[in-house]
Amino acid sequence: MLSQPALADAQLDSAMKNPANWAAQAGDYANQRYSDLKQINASNVGKLQAAWTISTGVLRGHEGSPLVVGDTMYIHSPFPNKVVAVNLKDQTYKWKYEPKQDAAVVPVMCCDTVNRGLAYGDGKIFLQQADTTLVALDANTGKVVWSVKNGDPKIGETNTNAPHVFKDKVITGISGGEFGVRGRVTAYDIKTGKVAWKGYSVGPDNEMLIDPDKTTTWADGKVVPVGKDSSIKTWQGDQWKIGGGTTWGWYSYDPKLNLMYYGSGNPSTWNPKQRPGDNKWSMSIWARDVDTGKVKWVYQMTPHDEWDFDGINEMILADVSVKGQKVPALVHFDRNGFGYTLNRETGALVVAEKYDPAVNWATHVDMKTGRPQVVSQYSTEQNGEDVNSKGICPAALGSKDQQPASYDRKSGLFMVPTNHVCMDYEPFRVEYTAGQPYVGATLSMFPAPNSHGGMGNFIAWDAGTGKIAWSKPEKFSVWSGALTTAGDIVFYGTLEGYLKAVSPKDGKELWKFKVPSGIIGNVFTYEYAGKQYVGVYSGIGGWAGIGMAAGLENSTDGLGAVGGYKDLAKYTDLGGTLFVFALPSN
């Protein structure tokens, strides 16, 4: 008999069910980023106007979104990770929490000092600080209830991900794939902060919480047990110990299956020659039991990564119609440029197609083996060390990076903010030193050639057929998370700083507004006192904006992003503000 499963967090559950709240980063457990609110709709969104604004007092990149529970909004900031509880009535501050963090963590954050937001549950607000401290704050007072250390910045471990509340656990990941950090997710008890379980991405079976006989993967056209030492035997010697596979994305949860889903990142180093083998389970989609952490299934998208196609992008849970049949699906837009549809119960691969036509590093994904078919011209492994492999699409930051997509429950289409960027990639030999960058490649990035000249598209995706329904070109990568609403609108922000509302039917622009700084935050919505609001953080940064955020100027600095995005400085400047919009009162 199974042990008694934990109950769902009642407060979060009920808060999430009421669309007036925005109680979790994605609005729900399924990562759908869809709201039932429709006071703001396609025919009146043209009148949308800024309702109120708040400065965070921090300049660098602002990712994630605030949370709204009842009459309170919880606002976070990038490092130093301030938290402010704001009364929705009059925008005064209920409380502020300002952690003291050692600034020594800043240089070990690969891609700006971002923070992807807070979690709510059990009357608490959870903050995952950059220095890996996970803090539980009383939602009413801001007082610290408990606090734990989730890692060690001295060996390059940091945190940028939002914690996630699933049932009686607060679940968090780790960053540091560029420092040889060994990825894992850790579940903490929501009441006490005690470790409930910890599951690594690479290493011995027991440390990954993999059961060689019960944990399955997709191979040979079917779901099969992974077998013994499925990770270790794909690494040379002890390399898995500094093997990466970090876990800094947005997790989702299926209460019925009691499974949580997330992706693991790139293997360390970026020089593939130094780490022969498939490097499992970096670059993989994971399904874990929330109570025990045990792995139900795992699927590796990019075996033996040669391009930093870090697999952490979110898994969106939805029922997708495939060839006339409803599949309990997980939809994932990977950095590698393929949009994956899997059966989330079994881990069976259903669809894997390019969601940006520029993708050239692989011809297709072999549906039997689940492996992408690499084009040798773009294999940095085959071309070898100190050889510059040119014109690889997408660039290391992928056809999509952390910017989460949204699901349109009405049309069944996925609304995806994408990058349209290619790269030259030159791997080189690198020594591991704890706490030092362990990158091993020089990159430069540029807009996808022979296209519209821009670096991004906002697309609608049919996950059942693996086809782009429509695509709206953007000058820069769309680094902000999308929101679809029952008002027949999809919102997203641009790096120049426009918040846009477009039609989910055809991408037609319905409205836009220029916020002070480029947008890398995620759009959210809530209702207060009978009025619907839509909000977003403004504050350029993240990997795409690292040049501005960190004041870098050489093209290949910022892991290669500085050159590609240098034109951003002609459009926007740093600055962190929250913008909230509503329809005029009369």
Give catalytic residue positions.
308
> Contacting ligand PQQ (CB under 6 A), which of 168, 310, 314, 345?
310
Quick check: 222 and 369 in contact, CB under 8 A? no
Query: Is omega for the bond preceding 404 within 30 degrees of 0, making it cis?
Result: no
Letters for 83-112 (x = contact with a copy of itself by CB under 8 A, - = none) are: -x------xxx--x----------------
Q: What's the CA gap between 333 and 261, in Å, rounded? A: 14
Residues with Cβ < 8 Å from 18, sequence gap 6 or more? none
Binding of ligand PQQ by 265 (CB under 6 A) = yes
What are the backbone angles phi and psi of residue 421, rounded to the nearest 5°? -135, 140
Give the number of residues in contact with ligand PQQ, rule: CB under 6 A.
Answer: 20
Residues with Cβ < 8 Å from 438, sequence gap 6 or more? 156, 178, 179, 180, 242, 268, 269, 430, 432
Q: What's the CA gap between 407 and 410, in Å, rounded? A: 9
Q: What are residue 338's DSSP bridge partners?
A: 354
CB of 308 to ligand PQQ, least distance (A): 6
CB of 401 to ligand PQQ, least distance (A): 5
Residue number with CB closer to a copy of itself (85 or 362): 85
Residues with Cβ < 8 Å from 521, sequence gap 6 or more? 62, 63, 64, 65, 480, 481, 493, 536, 537, 538, 539
318 sits in which H/E element: strand 315-322
CB of 515 to a copy of itself, least distance (A): 6
> What number of other Cβ atoms are within 10 A of residue 405's Cβ?
30
Sign, CA torsion 437/440/441/442 = positive
Region binding ligand PQQ by CB under 6 A among candidate stretches 80-88, 171-179, 463-471, 490-498: 171-179
Q: In what order do the strands lie in the sheet with 441-447?
A: 389-392, 421-427, 441-447
- Among positions 407-436, residues that touch ligand PQQ (CB under 6 A) are none
Q: In what order do the strands lie in the sheet with 414-419?
A: 406-407, 414-419, 456-462, 467-474
582 binds, among a copy of itself, ligand PQQ, none (CB under 5 to 8 A by kind): none
Region binding ligand PQQ by CB under 6 A among candidate stretches 134-142, 227-235, 350-358, 394-402: 394-402
206 sits in which H/E element: helix 205-208
Residue number with CB closer to a copy of itself (497 or 563): 497
> Contacting a copy of itself (CB under 8 A), which of 215, 246, 313, 538?
538
Binding of ligand PQQ by 176 (CB under 6 A) = yes
Letters for 37-56 (x = contact with a copy of itself by CB under 8 A, - = none) are: ----------x-xx-xxxxx
Query: Encoding tokens for residue 563?
Result: 């050159």
Q: What's the CA gap between 231 and 249, in Å, rounded? A: 21
Letters for 83-122 (x = contact with ligand PQQ by CB under 6 A, - = none) are: ---------------------------xxx-x--------
Residue number with CB closer to ligand PQQ (56 or 246): 246
Q: Which of left, alpha, beta for 166 (phi over 0: left; psi -120 to 50: alpha)?
A: beta
CB of 128 to a copy of itself, least distance (A): 21
Binding of ligand PQQ by 549 (CB under 6 A) = no
> Contacting a copy of itself (CB under 8 A), which of 57, 70, 449, 453?
57
Binding of a copy of itself by 149 (CB under 8 A) = no
> Contacting a copy of itself (CB under 8 A), which of 198, 465, 516, 555?
516
Q: What's the CA gap between 459 and 414, in Å, rounded? A: 8
248 binds, among ligand PQQ, a copy of itself, none (CB under 5 to 8 A by kind): ligand PQQ
Residue number with CB closer to a copy of itself (297 or 581): 581
- Among positions 240-259, residues that touch ligand PQQ (CB under 6 A) are 246, 248
Residue with tokens 């299934």: 297
In single-letter form, the type of residue at position 463 comes to A
Three-class secondary structure of residue 570 per DSSP: helix
CB of 4 to a copy of itself, least distance (A): 45
Binding of a copy of itself by 483 (CB under 8 A) = no
> Contacting ligand PQQ (CB under 6 A), which of 77, 113, 402, 517?
402
Residue number with CB closer to a copy of itself (53 or 555): 53
The full length of the chain comes to 586
CA angle 363–367–368, rounded 5-degree value:
125
CB of 541 to ligand PQQ, least distance (A): 7
Which residues bind to a copy of itself, rule: CB under 8 A?
47, 49-50, 52-57, 59, 84, 91-93, 96, 497, 513-517, 538, 548, 569-578, 584
Which residues bind to ligand PQQ, rule: CB under 6 A?
63, 110-112, 114, 160, 175-178, 246, 248, 265-266, 310, 397, 401-402, 542-543
